[in-house]
Amino acid sequence: MRSIHLLKSKVHRAVVTGASLNYEGSLTISEDLAQTVGLRRYERILVGNMGNGNRFETYVIYGPAGKGAIELNGATALLGKIGDRLTIMSFAEVPENEADAHQPQVIVLDEKNKIKSH
C-alpha cells in the first residue's frame, strides 16, 4: 500500500527564548509543549523563522516543562534571534487510504509561549 507524507505536529508562533551557538545542535522545546503536539525527543523537525524567512531541519530536545523554552542550538543559533517567531513542524507517513481522515496536532502560542489555541 502506498503512503504519503502529511503534517503530524505543528507548533505555530513559538517565540525564541534562547540561543547557544556552542552546542551540539538541535532545537530545545519545553517538554509540555512538545508532548501536546506529539513531538518526541530526537524527532526530526522542519522549522520556519517567521521573522527572516529561514527554514531549517534539526531535531527536538526537551527543555523543562512549563518554562516555555524555545532555544536555537548549534548552527541553528545563526538562523534566528531571541524574540523571533517560529513555526515548528513534523511529518508522518500515512497510508494513502487513511489520508483523508488524518488530523495533525496543532497548537498556537502567545508571546509568552503559552498555548493560545489547540
Active-site residues: which are they? 26, 59
Which runs of consecutive H residues, i.e. helices, occur in 1-118?
Answer: 31-36
Nearest Cα to Cα of residue 34 among 81, 111, 42, 84: 42
Whole-angstrom Cα distance, residue 7 to residue 11?
11
The strands making up 26-30's β-sheet, listed across from edge to edge, are 18-20, 70-73, 26-30, 55-63, 44-49, 85-95, 3-15, 105-109, 115-117
